Amino acid sequence: SYVLTQPPSVSVAPGQTARITCGENNIGDKIVQWYQQKPGQAPLLVISFDSDRPSGIPERISGSNTGNTATLTISRVEAGDEADYYCQVWDSSSDHPVFGGGTKLTVL
């Protein structure tokens, strides 16, 4: 089955840029979603269709997907961005959705 690999943790100073990766062979051929989950809260969709931001998601948050890696980029990181981030695709070979293992973003 499809396995999405994310780094367990990413740390960044306020004001800097955080990049969170989601890897798998030819993930660029799939459509990737990203969710933000703050402590004690439900996941929130922040990127759909590789790079589309739902209404209300700041422009500082962007997504890209090419080759074997999808990337969630958060520019001008703020303390409020500290959260777990999950990537997700549809695995057409098994006909079900798959989540990555999640990345904890720490703002130093």
Q: Give me the residues that bind another protein (CB under 8 A), please.
A: 1, 31, 33, 35, 41-45, 48-49, 54, 86, 88-90, 94-102
Q: What is the dihedral of CA 35, 47, 2, 104, to 10 degrees?
A: -40
* Closest distance of CB 63 from another protein, Å: 12
Smallest distance, another protein to C-beta of residue 14, A: 26
Which C-beta is closer to another protein: that of 1 or that of 26? Answer: 1
User: Alpha helix (H) ranges present in the chain?
Assistant: none
Residue 64 CB, shortest distance to another protein, in Å, is 16
Name the 3-class secondary structure at 95.
Answer: coil
3-state percent helix, strand, coil for the chain, nearest multiple of 5 = 5, 50, 45
Which residue lies nearer to another protein by CB, 17 or 83? 83
